[in-house]
A and B are shown apart, each in its own frame.
Chain A
């Protein structure tokens, strides 16, 4: 439905509403009949009607002016209103060939929420565009009659028919799809758009249907089932997109960069599904408007809040509960949204920990919780200007104290472990979106993103053998605060339907404060007491602070040729400043897409630069990873990214996409081998960071089908990813931790009835790579005596067992007067397969010369339920 169409001028005889139909009648006859039927005087000269064309029309309750324009247009005639009389005149050539702009917005009818990237296309698909990320669109059309469709995933497609003879504005409101048992036709244009730049789109509905952990639906869980994307087991370890590192993904939350996306050490994302509007992942070569990362861009958008009525959502899952409230501040003008989520598992964790301690004859306590708060206010200043303020604060807190005393053969053993981990993101942003004129859009964002983490770990192993004491204790301390303040301005001009220009610029100021230390009595810190506290080590380790700036700009042009070819070319430039040192970069980007009726093809390439990287102990993307800015000694990372996709539409409902990619990475960083990294008050630590290169390539196949009773999607990935560092692995090339040769994901959703779905999700990934010693040598070290060192002959020389997981879930939705009830019941890891996450190399408590190698898996078979009420 469309709420307002300003297609013709008001208060004239052409506004009369009539119904009229005819078949193959001469134009003069039609004009006379229309004049008679409408009661309006229509003046025309017979000399104008030399053509033998006839008129066929069927109009119901249409404006007379619209009907006349449709009838007259083939004769290159139009109407003018002269002193209240409709006069048929020659259409001037410049009017016939002049382009007019149809512009406006696409939004959710129920909430007023603007729908980003909605598809807008002519019925014959000869022209089509996408709304921008704020739901604005501008469509250039020649004078004439058109039928235009509006489509957005999860919503009913809508269309309007009209005659355009001047620039016109239209606000389209789409209804959420509610009929589940409906014959669905795959929208070919959406499939095409998905592969334009290797883009993948995740609607709210898709996120809800993705495999969830403990009943918490999660956008990242949806994303890791995408072809070419992998992570550690169970989602642990962030994202590796097409063989890239976790830190090579720029995650934007309402346009604000997020440094770490994980609650619960990465098992659950910080993105509460209840506030997410949708998400897009670009994993191929990037258009010029994106910059700052080598591997992917994940753009997560939150809802603005309902502008028409108050509503909300409360939900409870096996691990957390959430509450959301939204509504209008001023109806149809301003809205708010507040959402809070928290784990309630604290007492359970405490009880289970106490039980485990009892069983292992140890003492201690364990506590953990996470929470996050989302808030957003949106104002429509007028039809063309919108301002919103977005806020996010999330935190995780884990602490444990554990000590065990054992006696064996008159030898006393003491094991003590204390952990105190805290981390969280704080995001704040102000957005101003403006439609300038009829075909130009401006987006301005001011933001601050702050990532804070502190980790403290104390371990003590003491052996008292007949008074001979061997006491080893170590303390690890990590603290980092990473703050980005920025301003970014984007400007889009839809010059023609076939030509769009985008340009923009921005400044980021990056502030880092990092402290990293470990103390051990083995390293000579004998003066410290046998219990090193967080405060002690924090005082010793003065954080290193440094500030850098990044200035960037881009220009991008998208040119369509006919309806089949789209060419996107652009350049992203940046200058990075630290102290008096400037590092400039020019990054060209290009993409070519060719669309047929039943197939599509895309090839794209980009050169990218990244100024922030993380130092990871294990490549797992743990929140303990330290983000560091490029500096005098730490070079920025660079890389090329090429990808191509060939897609087919099989029948009405099946899409097949086959693609390949190749990417390079230069100057990526890592921790050094055997490095005792201490980050203190000066920049010496930066000199010990090794640099290396990486290469990744692979092929992906995705098959998706939608039908009346079931939907399924399956994807396969063949990939290789390796690294080469001059100062690691003796300069030999080694496999990347997530170098998974074969991966496959599949999900099938059975629509048992309009409200009940049964969903199976399966994942297979070749095991992750870890480094394992293959032998050991005892050597003499003075003065402490002999010591052992394991022999490692290759980095990432051991492959974990393959990751295999099957999940089953029922999803039931019912609507009552009180609102929409969504019940979820499922089993995670039905096969109860122990999928290892990391390797633990420990010394035996009773004999320090004996190493024990264990692989640690975290999530066994886990049943889960959740309930959500949306009102």
Chain B
């Protein structure tokens, strides 16, 4: 029966093609100028090149202000002329010269920055990793202390530490800062594993805190290695409160980058909050803090 199989091209006229529409990626950070990537979407059946658009008009509109963007040719991105005001809500509007494909984002407000509230001291455990090297596992549980101005709570976290090494100074071994830092590797969460998504590009972790309700969230990280003479000092972390649009868009993009060409999977459904186009307008508010290692 397989031999009777017949393949026919699909009539795609019944679905609205995104081809030719604007794709924009723009994330706002309080106190910074906004940056946006903008290009046009191709017909997915015929893809050859990245279609960067240099002559688009792009602006952030709030009830108080309009922030126009300028194109930076060297970086191939659009940059706003002024900084973003954290107390405003914004809509991103953009169009190409003919204005026929004007895009408009959903309204977003900038979230407030939050620190982790630790419910226990971090636990350190030295183990041998798959390569046979020592590594240190760090686990701790924490909550996000108070509600922020979002219906759901999404975050991006990155933990970094200084790497130390042993040197012999005048015959005496001493531990000194190697001048290098490392981003700690996320080991996952057993309670709701899929609430966390790791970004391979910078080692940061996106997570959806609302899936834990009021429960503590268990975080498990590890050093890549822990060679002789190394030691653990305070761990610095960056916690960004991010909008749902940032979370969803980045998660879908990470999934897409990691997607296998073969094997078992569903296609990655891309997120967008851009009407008549594709991409996202998001926002993040970072905070820097330390985890004290005793």
User: Given A774-B16, A793-B278, do A854 and B264 touch, yes or no (CB 8 Å)?
Assistant: no
Query: How long is the Cα–Cα vector from A698 to B98 in the complex, in angstroms?
Result: 47
The B-contacting residues of A in range 777-831, CB under 8 angstroms, are 777-781, 786, 788-795, 797-799
Cβ contact of A799, chosen from B14, B19, B252, B263, cutoff 8 A = B14
Cβ contact of B269, chosen from A267, A472, A794, cutoff 8 A = A794
Q: Chain B interface: which of A70-78, A95-103, A755-763, A855-863?
A: A855-863
**Which residues of chain A are within 8 angstroms of B4 by Cβ–Cβ distance?**
858-860, 862
- Type the 1/0 row for B23-44, where 1 means its CB is closer than 8 Å to any CB of A: 1000000000000000101111
Closest chain B CB from A269 CB (angstroms): 14
Query: How long is the Cα–Cα vector from A722 to B185 in the complex, in angstroms?
Result: 37
Closest to B258 in A: A674
Are B262 and A677 within 8 A (Cβ)? no
Are A859 and B1 within 8 A (Cβ)? yes
**Which residues of chain A are within 8 angstroms of B259 by Cβ–Cβ distance?**
673-676, 789
Q: B272: CB under 8 A from chain A?
A: yes
**Which residues of chain B are within 8 angstroms of A522 by Cβ–Cβ distance?**
261
Q: A474: CB under 8 A from chain B?
A: yes
Most buried by A among B1, B46, B255: B1
Q: B9: CB under 8 A from chain A?
A: yes
Query: How long is the Cα–Cα vector from A368 to B1 in the complex, in angstroms?
Result: 10
Q: Chain A interface: which of B54-62, B126-134, B188-196, B215-223?
A: B188-196
Query: How long is the Cα–Cα vector from A294 to B23 in the complex, in angstroms?
Result: 42
Are A795 and B261 within 8 A (Cβ)? no
User: Given A520-B262, A726-B211, A857-B6, do A849 and B48 touch, yes or no (CB 8 Å)?
Assistant: yes
Are B43 and A797 within 8 A (Cβ)? no
Query: How long is the Cα–Cα vector from A815 to B39 in the complex, in angstroms?
Result: 76
User: Given A615-B264, A726-B194, A798-B15, do A853 and B10 touch, yes or no (CB 8 Å)?
Assistant: yes
- Type the 1/0 row for A659-677, where 1 means its CB is closer than 8 Å to any CB of B: 0000000000011111111
**Which residues of chain A are within 8 angstroms of B271 by Cβ–Cβ distance?**
730
Closest to A729 in B: B269
Q: B149: CB under 8 A from chain A?
A: no
Are B263 and A778 within 8 A (Cβ)? no
Closest chain B CB from A842 CB (angstroms): 9
Closest to A689 in B: B194
Query: How long is the Cα–Cα vector from A670 to B194 in the complex, in angstroms?
Result: 13
Q: B213: CB under 8 A from chain A?
A: no
User: Given A674-B256, A687-B193, A791-B278, do A774 and B44 touch, yes or no (CB 8 Å)?
Assistant: yes
Query: How long is the Cα–Cα vector from A522 to B259 in the complex, in angstroms?
Result: 11
Are B261 and A728 within 8 A (Cβ)? no
Q: B47: CB under 8 A from chain A?
A: yes
Closest chain B CB from A674 CB (angstroms): 3
Cβ contact of A353, chosen from B3, B43, B193, B211, cutoff 8 A = B3
User: Given A778-B50, A792-B269, do A839 and B262 touch, yes or no (CB 8 Å)?
Assistant: no
**Which residues of chain A are within 8 angstroms of B260 by Cβ–Cβ distance?**
518, 520, 523, 674-676
Are A776 and B44 within 8 A (Cβ)? yes
Closest to A457 in B: B262
Q: B171: CB under 8 A from chain A?
A: no
B residues contacting the other copy or chain, number (CB 8 A): 58
Closest chain B CB from A124 CB (angstroms): 53
Q: B173: CB under 8 A from chain A?
A: no
Query: How long is the Cα–Cα vector from A315 to B15 in the complex, in angstroms?
Result: 48
User: Given A672-B266, A792-B268, A854-B10, do A773 and B257 touch, yes or no (CB 8 Å)?
Assistant: no
**Which residues of chain B are within 8 angstroms of A789 by Cβ–Cβ distance?**
256, 259, 268
Closest to B8 in A: A855
Are B17 and A774 within 8 A (Cβ)? yes
Cβ contact of A834, chosen from B8, B12, B44, cutoff 8 A = B8
Q: B2: CB under 8 A from chain A?
A: yes
Closest chain A CB from B281 CB (angstroms): 15
Q: B49: CB under 8 A from chain A?
A: yes
Query: How long is the Cα–Cα vector from A842 to B201 in the complex, in angstroms?
Result: 28
Closest chain B CB from A312 CB (angstroms): 29
Most buried by A among B19, B259, B265, B271: B265
Query: How long is the Cα–Cα vector from A727 to B48 in the complex, in angstroms?
Result: 31
A residues contacting the other copy or chain, number (CB 8 A): 83
Are B264 and A727 within 8 A (Cβ)? no
Closest to A690 in B: B194
Closest to B248 in A: A730
Closest to B21 in A: A775
Closest to A799 in B: B14
The B-contacting residues of A in range 516-536, CB under 8 angstroms, are 516-518, 520, 522-523
User: Given A853-B12, A858-B4, do A676 and B45 touch, yes or no (CB 8 Å)?
Assistant: no
**Which residues of chain B are within 8 angstroms of A773 by Cβ–Cβ distance?**
44, 267
**Which residues of chain A are within 8 angstroms of B263 by Cβ–Cβ distance?**
476, 517-518, 676-678
Are B257 and A857 within 8 A (Cβ)? no
**Which residues of chain B are within 8 angstroms of A459 by Cβ–Cβ distance?**
262
Cβ contact of A780, chosen from B41, B50, B267, cutoff 8 A = B50
Q: B228: CB under 8 A from chain A?
A: no
Cβ contact of B194, chosen from A356, A671, A688, cutoff 8 A = A688
- Type the 1/0 row for B266-282, where 1 means its CB is closer than 8 Å to any CB of A: 11111110000010000
**Which residues of chain B are within 8 angstroms of A849 by Cβ–Cβ distance?**
46-48
Are A778 and B6 within 8 A (Cβ)? no
User: Given A779-B50, A788-B47, do A854 and B265 touch, yes or no (CB 8 Å)?
Assistant: no
Query: How long is the Cα–Cα vector from A729 to B44 in the complex, in angstroms?
Result: 19
Are A858 and B47 within 8 A (Cβ)? no
Q: A748: CB under 8 A from chain B?
A: no
**Which residues of chain B are within 8 angstroms of A677 by Cβ–Cβ distance?**
263-265
**Which residues of chain A are within 8 angstroms of B45 by Cβ–Cβ distance?**
776, 850-853
**Which residues of chain B are within 8 angstroms of A518 by Cβ–Cβ distance?**
260, 262-264
**Which residues of chain B are within 8 angstroms of A794 by Cβ–Cβ distance?**
269
Query: How long is the Cα–Cα vector from A836 to B194 in the complex, in angstroms?
Result: 34
Q: A390: CB under 8 A from chain B?
A: no
**Which residues of chain B are within 8 angstroms of A836 by Cβ–Cβ distance?**
8
Cβ contact of B41, chosen from A398, A670, A676, A791, cutoff 8 A = A791
Closest to A214 in B: B1
The A-contacting residues of B in range 164-200, CB under 8 angstroms, are 188, 190, 193-194
Closest chain A CB from B245 CB (angstroms): 10
Query: How long is the Cα–Cα vector from A776 to B49 in the complex, in angstroms?
Result: 10
Are A771 and B9 within 8 A (Cβ)? no
Are B14 and A675 within 8 A (Cβ)? no
Q: B102: CB under 8 A from chain A?
A: no
**Which residues of chain B are within 8 angstroms of A2 by Cβ–Cβ distance?**
none
Closest to A676 in B: B260
Closest to A459 in B: B262
Are B47 and A672 within 8 A (Cβ)? no
Closest chain B CB from A318 CB (angstroms): 11
Cβ contact of A730, chosen from B188, B256, B269, cutoff 8 A = B269
Query: How long is the Cα–Cα vector from A379 to B21 in the complex, in angstroms?
Result: 74
**Which residues of chain A are within 8 angstroms of B42 by Cβ–Cβ distance?**
775-778
**Which residues of chain B are within 8 angstroms of A780 by Cβ–Cβ distance?**
50
Closest chain B CB from A735 CB (angstroms): 13
Q: A7: CB under 8 A from chain B?
A: no
Other A-B contacts than A777-B50, A852-B9, 15 sampled, CB-CB below 8 A, are A366-B2, A523-B260, A671-B264, A672-B194, A673-B269, A675-B265, A775-B42, A776-B43, A776-B45, A777-B47, A781-B257, A791-B41, A836-B8, A855-B8, A855-B9
Q: List 9 A-B contacts (CB under 8 A).
A: A352-B3, A459-B262, A516-B264, A671-B265, A676-B260, A775-B17, A775-B278, A776-B19, A788-B44
A→B interface (CB under 8 Å)? 264-265, 267, 349, 352-353, 356, 366, 368, 398, 459, 472, 474-476, 478, 516-518, 520, 522-523, 615, 617, 633, 670-678, 687-688, 690, 726-731, 771-781, 786, 788-795, 797-799, 834, 836, 839-840, 849-860, 862
Nearest 5 interchain pairs by C-beta? A776-B44, A775-B18, A674-B259, A518-B263, A687-B193
